[in-house]
Amino acid sequence: MVTHLSLSLRRNSLLPLLTVLIAGAGSSLRGEEPLNVIVYFVDDMGWTDVGCFGSDFYETPNIDRLAAEGVRFTNAYSACTVCSPSRAALLTGKYPARLHVTDFIPGHPFVNTPLLIPEWTQQLNLEEVTVAEQLKTKGYHTAHFGKWHLTPRDRTDDPNDDGNFPEFYPDRQGFDFNIGGCERGAPASYYWPYGRGKTLEEKKNNNTFRTIPDHGATEDTYLTDQLADEAVRLIGEFDQDPFFIYFPFYNVHTPLQGREDLVEKYRKKLEANPNVTQKNIQYAAMVESVDEAIGRIMAQVAKQGVSDRTMVIFSSDNGGLYPQSTTNRPLRQGKGSIYEGGVRVPTIIRWPGGAKAGAVSEEPVITIDFFSTILDATGAVPPTKLGDAIDGLSLVPLLKDPSSATLDRDAIFWHYPHYHSMGGVPYSAVRMGDWKLIEQHGGIAPVELYHLSEDIHEDHNLAETEPERTAAMLKRLQDWRHSVDAQMPTKNPSYDPGQPVGISRGGKIRPMAVVRE
């Protein structure tokens, strides 16, 4: 039972929650004991950045253990190729296009683009019902640790302008506890106090992560370790009460800054194994920090004797940042791109008694499915009661029968009416079966069609040789956009093709990157 938690980190007192707990928590599909849920959502982790998904360099024994105890999804996708939309989708079960949260907040300040981006929503609106709010009504403790990035932020040229909008923080979206969630998408430094500056005092003054308690932190404290410390402490206080933990890591987002002891470990490993595919020692250290944190949290769950009634979902908000951080081979490109490297992500669901251990599912799944899956597995809200506005489907049938079960849908969709610094242009896309169609807006490129089971690197555009399939999939995509009221970019009357397309910062224009792989 919760005893001495820091009330400064939460919005509501424990009394209403305890009243609900006495009345009885929602029971899971497994039986009468309530099912705990932990969601690990890693930032910018690529499809092959985990041992059980093929990494030949990064060490992830704890994540691999989740796969051994659960179902590994080989055709799992993020809801977007950048972070904020995927986070909004996970929490609500809705496509980013339906929410109009379609870019990372606040987006890149591009100039001289052929298309003008729409007036999109730069926060998760409070009227949206999150999975935390749903579980809270069933007597769950709800806690957020890490990156939120669903809060408005006023962009200025001052790198330390925090653009503070606490009214959109996690504690306004169903979370009793918010540790680390704010408007920032990444720390200035992964070492405490996480702010910019040459001196400790400057770093403290510029630290925008004010939702993280110090609790004895020093300049040697690594952000991921501190968040894991807080999660372990809080889970320990929950004891046998049902809980929902949402742990969206700041790792492995830039700045590339691993914990020093792990960086040295991978420096030696690379020297001994120079022919590995993945070679970034800073990034490798950051990946292992994620794995260590997961291991520590799962050890606490086991210590409390609730491991057998704890579901774990592990995934990433988009593909790996290529080429700065990692390689997504055999997939094409990375974060910000609609090619597979930007949107296919490692995904695992562990659920003792509810998911077949060590199994693999090849069914296409997407971030929006986690919402319905959690509510179905916990018994909080049956899938038939969710309503038409929820786009995701429950994955419970796949967990029980991953080799042969299928989902009742014919397509999954993406929509990004923005430009991205890594060369991404406004696009929409649809996957139907093994086929994927990409439409880049503004007529800058022909429609692309790929047969993923035979061409995972998307080298061979089959749109011209498959005209009927292309036309049918394009219409399906356009009909879907209309059904969710997707916002579209419009022609820019001021566009000058003789001038570069770039990002404006501090009076300077930085050209858009060109990523070819």
Please calculate the CA angle 162-168-174 and round it to the nearest 5 degrees: 135
Q: How far from each other are the two terminal CA atoms of the chain, in whole angstroms? A: 52
Instruction: Say yes or no to pLDDT of 11 above 50.
Output: no
Please calculate the CA angle 317-231-161 and round it to the nearest 5 degrees: 60
Do the beta carbons of residue 101 and residue 107 sit within 8 Å?
no
Instruction: Say yes or no to pLDDT of 154 above 70.
Output: no
As a whole number of angstroms, the distance between CA 83 and CA 65 comes to: 26
As a whole number of angstroms, the distance between CA 392 and CA 448 comes to: 26
As a whole number of angstroms, the distance between CA 419 and CA 152 comes to: 19
Query: pLDDT digits over 408-459, tens only?
Result: 999 999 999 999 988 789 999 999 999 999 999 987 788 999 999 999 999 9
Query: pLDDT digits over 155-181, tens only?
Result: 455 555 555 688 899 999 999 999 999
Query: pLDDT digits over 48-86, tens only?
Result: 999 999 999 999 999 999 999 999 999 999 999 999 999
33-410: CATH number: 3.40.720.10
As a whole number of angstroms, the distance between CA 163 and CA 160 comes to: 9
361 bridge partner residues: 73
Q: Which 8-state DSSP code applies to residue 200?
A: H
What would the mean pLDDT of 308-335 be, rounded to a whole number? 93
Beta strands in 180-253 (DSSP E): 243-248
Query: pLDDT digits over 270-320, tens only?
Result: 999 999 999 999 999 999 999 999 999 999 999 999 999 999 999 999 999
Nearest to 391 by CA among 75, 79, 40: 79
Q: What is the pLDDT of residue 23?
A: 40
As a whole number of angstroms, the distance between CA 137 and CA 17 comes to: 8
- Written as six digits, the tokens of 303 are 């210590």
Q: What is the pTM of this model?
A: 0.92
Class of domain 415-511: alpha beta
Query: pLDDT digits over 395-409, tens only?
Result: 999 999 998 889 999
Boundaries of every domain in the chain: 33-410, 415-511
- Distances in Å between the Cα of 102 and the Cα atoms of 83, 275, 320 are 9, 39, 19
